[in-house]
Amino acid sequence: MDLTEGVGESSSPPRSFGSGSNHDLRNDVYNRFIEIGHEEAVSNPELFRKHIDSHFNRLPASYGLDVNMDKVEDVLLHQKLLAMAKDPERRPVYHIRFLEKLCTKTEGNGEQQFITMTPIPRPACDTDDEGVVPSQKRIKDCTIEFEPCSKLEDLNLDVRKSSKDMEERYHSGDVSRRLEVSHVPIHEFIFSTVDKPKLLSQLSALLSDIGLNIREAHVFSTTDGYSLDVFVVDGWPSEDTDGLYKAMEEAVARNEGSWSGPSHPRSSIDKASAAGAKLGDWEIDRRLLKIGERIASGSCGDLYHGVYFGQDVAIKIFRSEQLNDTQEEEFAQEVAILREVQHRNVVRFIGACAKSPHLSIVTEFMPRGSLYDYLHKNHNILELPQLLKFVIDVCKGMDYLHQNNIIHRDLKTANLLMDTQNVVKVADFGVARFQNQGGVMTAETGTYRWMAPEIINHLPYDQKADVFSFAIVLWELVTAKVPYDSMTPLQAALGVRQGLRPDLPQNAHPKLLDLMQRCWETVPDKRPSFSEITVELETLLQESQTCQESAEANNRN
């Protein structure tokens, strides 16, 4: 999506996820296990703490919102599920438990009102050795009591509000029609398997297949490619979990092909040609999207903050009045690329609505916004260690794309987004392309201030065009300035054609200055690859950290 020059697809301002840090939460969890006398925590506290830290390191910061300190045993259950998911023969691993009964009252006209949540004690019974359930093996329940995920926004706030109003009317006598009381059993499913695009839709389909309605969904992706997905559901007629396990086993068996490992990589030509035909594989129901505030606008569409099954998402909506064959082809191309990529430093694809005229693309929401906003709107000046961490993230994401024969073609700070932990991810694949073997690209695309001279001159170009753009990004992070800020975009492009480059900052690290100049070489073959750049930057970061530690030690002495 071509957004305003220099702005791009930025995200909304940061949101707080709580007053404490993840580190503080880990301390609380660990201390809670010690307080309750957990056997492993007491017998080997150092190893137990290491396992807790490792678990939280794998998961996003939002996972902490679901940790109930009165029921910290859930953390161990999640650990076991994720561990079992490493076995391909067991995927998807899942655990089912009865939570409570929802007391409802039905009016004479058949309209149902949800009044109160009535907790039902869970019976304790024997567990198997592992206490968790692979898809081929089930257990009835476990001796630990659990609670549902309760600290994220309830997806049924409107229902509960009206239920509260109805309850007040009922107790005050202001109900003219007869009410019949019934109880709806509520269950919880916890899944773990290999993370992949469209996984949420697959799991939702499994639950729907056995007649369940999703009330809440809490979705987490680990840093090493696995998922932990928690669903609160109704629709099962009793508290019984045996029948649910059997029904789920049958549903998984009917869809066994969906859980097989990834197919062998296809050529870039095959990927591009299959774009239009494969869109349906990733289509999501537009009715399930809750569209919130608009956070960016472009020439052909708008970007919104939204919610999908309780998960914050970014929704790019293409304007229907401007759709044409070319834009529909570009939409298909962008989806084709997004569905092929999965990396810690690339924004995660969730799905797409591919039914014209309501074309939209849904990706993970990046609450800390873009590096462009971070630098130029928030006026942050980066210290060397943080700067290096940012650019290393960029290089790792770009190296992954290049290893998969993808050219981004619009690399700039506006398309580099940050998550809650300041991890930078490459975003906006609106003009990205697969680099066909033997193919030649000459089209002018991207944003002038960051554009390589070979693209401006309509010469053949390859992945090294992205390296040139990275050089401008690096300069921007070092100086906290907009490149060529005294020129219009077109003037900047004409200058780059004639050999113009940004002025080198005087106080920058000499190795960064040298890297900039090599990356913006006029001859593309003279520019380093992203894998080479990553090695250089990681070495520099290590040197910087060593110097800082030595300086701190000297100050203490």
Q: Tell me the catalytic residues.
A: 410
Could you tell me the two tokens for 77?
A: 């259950």
Reference 76, options 40, 31, 114; nearest CA is 40
CA 395 – CA 507 distance, rounded (Å): 23
The span from the CA of 141 to the CA of 90, in Å, is 19
Q: Which of 48, 45, 96 is nearest to 76 (CA)?
A: 48
* 71-93: b (≥16 Cβ within 10 Å) or e: bbbbbbbbbbbbebbeeeebbbb
- Residues 33 and 29: their CA atoms lie apart, in Å, by 6
Residue 154 neighbours by CB under 8 Å, 6+ apart: 160, 216
**Which DSSP string corresponds to 64-81?**
GGG--GGGTHHHHHHHHH
Please choose, from the candidates 167, 171, 163, 179, the residue with its C-alpha nearest in 3D space to the C-alpha of residue 215.
163
Give the distance from CA 380 to its chain's centroid.
25
What tokens were used for 441? 């690209």
**Three-class DSSP labels, 414-469:** HHEEECCCCCEEECCCCCCEECCCCCCECCCCCCHHHCCHHHHCCCCECCHHHHHH
Nearest to 474 by CA among 446, 516, 432: 516
Distance CA 407, CA 337 (A): 10
Contact by Cβ (8 Å): 360, 316: yes
Residues 367 and 420 sit within 8 Å (Cβ to Cβ): yes
> What is the SS3 assignment for 549?
helix
Residue from 319, 347, 369 nearest 1 by CA: 319
Q: Decide: helix, strand or coil at residue 312.
A: strand
